[in-house]
Structure 1
Amino acid sequence: MSTIRTDRLQPANEALVEMQQRQALNRYLERTGEREHIAEELKSKNPLEVDTPERAAFRTAILAPRDGLAVERIIGNNDLFPIAYLQAGLNASKAVCRIEVRDRVGRVLGHGTGFLVSPTLLLTNNHVLENADAALYSLAQFNYELDLTLRERPAANFRMEPNRFFITDVGLDFTLVAVEPQSTDGLHLNDFGYLPLLRPSGKALVGEYVSIIQHPAGAPKAITIRENKITDIVDDYIHYSADTKEGSSGSPVFNDEWIVLALHHAGIPDPDQPGEYAANEGIRISSIVQYLIEQQASLTQEQQMMLDGMIQDWRTVEHETAQLTVGEMSKDRYAGLTGYEPGFLGAAHCVPHPAFRSDVEQDLVPLESGGHVLNYNHFSIVMSKTRRLAYYTAVNIDGTQLKNVRRGKDQWYFDPRIEQKFQSGPELYSDNALDRGHLVRRRDPVWGDNAEQANEDTFHFTNCSPQHANFNQKIWLQLEDYLLEHADNHQLKVSVFTGPVFRTDDMVYRGFQIPAEFWKVAVMVKSDGNLSATAYLQTQKNLIQDVEFAYGAYKTYQVPVAQVEALTGIQFGELKQHDPINGLEAVMSRVIENAKDMIL
């Protein structure tokens, strides 16, 4: 058995480390009889039969559907992997960093390991970063590893920002802290990716092998691959054998799909052999996630938004583990649909479909019947040939007839009225954590006699756009809720246009360019009878300071309608004249943190 220890970073941590080891030993000793029973069962059964049915079901649900040997590896009948397994591990390793723990004068007190779990948040042990001051003075060092010539790569040093976000817990021995978006030498945190955290229990089973990526003794990044068997799972903890050393505290523990199942934190001293260790202990990710969810109410609004982004990511990953269900729709299904109605707000306030700049117009997808507008129940869509996504959607919302229709079976459809090659389908969204974000929100067109059909219409691939993992959904949804609640509570009618911003430097994934920004234009008649047209942009760009690009959390801005026109090539005609911030230099870009910030 390997002689592993937790980090002894500074004298103040000695008592904490010893306490955690004693507690780990007590848990280990209490489970001796049960652990021996499990080991005996595994001689005649496989982990899928020994563990609970619920955990076993989730374990099989998150297997890659094209990996035909995955189950055989779990039950121990096969150790063959596709060669891509190594590349997947290398990709996962990018998010793992060495933590250099320093005091307020810059002295190095020790080292630990940590890893990014969102585009802005890093997870490690409480005994590595015990408090906000320790995080403030310490460094997260990414890329600290050896190259093929066994020379050290230059590390990227990022400071932590506990003033933005810091949660720690001694019992679960974890710390979650924000990291600055740009390193001291100009590198971006987004370059290192992050490791999604799944909430459910069952990411690995007793008897299954795990791997650990770590910085042992503060050395360059290292890995133990599948030499580490899970021996027990109890309450908030997992016990396993593994080769780790001082400095490995805070390392991610992976299953064969490179999904994080535990946060490594302690060695369990061998009661019969002083100086030796009987096993290692990790904190279950499901327990950490549950703890964080319970803390949300006590956080500031900005911190809740950051945590909401993580929780959304977890929900997305959980949802996307199932295969994408694609249905078929007959062309007859769309007969007679008129879609978005320009005169919806009344004869005195006609709001036509927008026009396009000449260079954009040639990229519009043509319908087989002619024209470019796909009409659905209460909304319409115009598609881009090159991007295979919507240029814009246009929906009418009638607050006097809104209906509550269940989401349904979440089946998605290609639109048969345009060629399938101009639509983004399962080849983009399957087997990953990308969110199929509705452009026309599901609830918005669900009113009137055709509410059920309108609900189903929103589940077309033409109406969704892949959303970045760090897309901040909370404010965007609050904005939509505010508009919809206005339509509902005041019996107003609202017309809403939505779409992505297409940029030439958008990230490429599976041959698709993923939009990094989204816009919305909302039009309503105010109580005084005048029209109001307001525009919003959710982006990483700092519009107030007008810098080139700021990697980090998305923000939502209220912007002039004219600015959306300039970004998209979509022209809204006379709507600019009804924009309350049009021409007001002092509020050319207004941050929207909640609905009260909107100027209507």
Structure 2
Amino acid sequence: MSDEPRDEEARTGAVRRRLADAPELREAIEQAVKAGRLPAEMVPPRALDAIDRGGELESVLHVDALEAIVRRVGRPPLLVRNDAVELEPLPDFPAGTDVLIKGVERSVRSVGRVEFVNHQMAWGGTGWVIHEDGDSARIVATNRHVAKVVAQRGLDGSGVFLRAPFTGLPYGAELDFKEEVGSNPGDAKPIRVVAITYLADDAAPDVALLRLEGDDLPSALPLAEAEAQADQLVALIGYPAYDSRNDPGDQAKYFRDLYEVKRFAPGFVMQALGGGRALTHDCTSLGGNSGSPLISLDDGRVVGLHYAGQYGIANSAVGVDTLRRLVAGERPVLAAGAAVSQAQRAADATEAASDGVHAPDFFGGRAGYDPAFLGDDLAAPWPGAPAALEPGLAHPSDEDPGRPFELRYTHFGVKYHLPRRQPLITAVNIDGEHPVRIKREGDRWFRDQRIPLEAQLGKDDYADPEIDRGHMVRREDPNWDPDATGPTDVTERARLANDDTFHYTNSALQHSRMNQGKQLWQGLENYILESARTEGFKACVFTGPIFRNDDPLLAAGLPVPQEFWKLVIMPAASDGGGQRLHATAYLLSQGELIRDLLEKRSRVEGVEGFVLGAYRTFQIAIADLAEATGMDLAHYVPFDPLGGSRIGTEAIESGEPLFVPLEMLDQIVT
């Protein structure tokens, strides 16, 4: 590329004209620089000076293209046809480069185009198989900024697909490995992305990992054992698209108006990674090459993941060591919502002092939840926790090996999720024959020192006026004592049960917009308790939030659950004259869980104008609740009357999720 001043001026003028036609690009570049997402070395000093002065970008000569032509001559992006590279003269490369290219062209089979589902953009970048997970699953590497077109980073670092703003349909992604020159529409065999297993934070390297499942999947590209070295002969494989951010003449010269098909672009490593320097190369790229593998022509091993470029300067790639660590499951250490800093720990200690703290010995003799409470042959065991959430459950200092994870209180127990800083599930025994009524007065909340204090919320976390502090085990439910002389005999046991509910381990964040829907939810809770007291029977109640990866965050980084579930177990008369279990499940929701079930089963209701309404209470089939939450509720499915009802029989036959919107409590299917 010529360095003559007039060439520089011509390019600068072209850039300014393109920016004038694309103000959104100009704004995005300025914001990226100000936020530190665009490295300073990619921006001319005069542009940085302009931004620092609060002015506009004077020139983005070096940053106007996030994918870029670096060398105006000598770096042809070779076409791929039928999985073979079509060679052209390569006068700027060493003799024998054509032989090396042919030696590694098998790599092209493992590179695909990242296409979008239900999005206005048909496709957005390149992806390639980086890991084989057995015979029927593959992990694909691409860029974060490609995946973020249709997804957002979840609380656990994975990706969660977004929804279209008007239709509410979920976005999705596919990989098509056969988009080549001369290919027919019938040749396309896109493979659906079943999960985004990793979506980098903006402060981490620009990487996303996608999971594919199916048959006859491409092989993984091998990763190099060491980082690329300067002047190493490499190639970029991907899908360059016409890019107005690059010079039209240069694009026409290289691409001959043929875009959006697979290309094999040879070049050289310009700068090795290390010492504060980025891995750069001069392989020709355009928009659409995002996520392309950078492979060594010596052995066909991947040395980097392409992610950005500077027109006429260099293209940049994530190094292979980072890729190897991510595939192995290592994740960058970031200030996520669940992380707790030393300053936060100190604040927690102060807050704990004002709230109150109970040491482990305070809980001596607490029996916790009793699975045998309902009587012989009426066992009501804890539901099994979802496999993805169980590793986050707390191990109390007084944990009973036979009852793992349980924080034992008086007449109830809690299984607490440390990363979410909230209970995953609570279980309470209700004795309607021996109730004790305790007046609520002078509430004081406590933290439980049997698990780390920094993993528990405090009153400051509930300072937001839109957030409520919600008892999972209701205050009145465990307030009973067989030794009490009557409902007004407040025994020590009943008092302990009452006070034990005022621990933050028994509290979940609840958004205030649930309040309207909670009227019937609370009515349901009252109905359960009063029925038990009136009829004098026993009941076991499990309650918990539904943790989603995309739950909204408070300013403090705390995720707020949007839905809650409840499972009520009680004895009932059997046909043989004895007793059996009776189990019903309920959901406090706008309908998200139900929509998920509809979509999973490909029911048309899930894609034809399903709208989330106000918060309501639903009775839901226990089997459907289990499927949607990942909870193991198999023990209770046979005792669910909803499945045996007329509406239940019809739903089962048609494969529909089984639920009843409750407007009044007498609509409960018993």
Larger radius of gyration between Structure 1 and Structure 2: 2
- Tell me which interval the TM-score lies in, with the shorter structure as reference length: 0.3 to 0.5
The TM-score with structure 2 as length reference comes to 0.40
TM-score (norm 1): 0.45
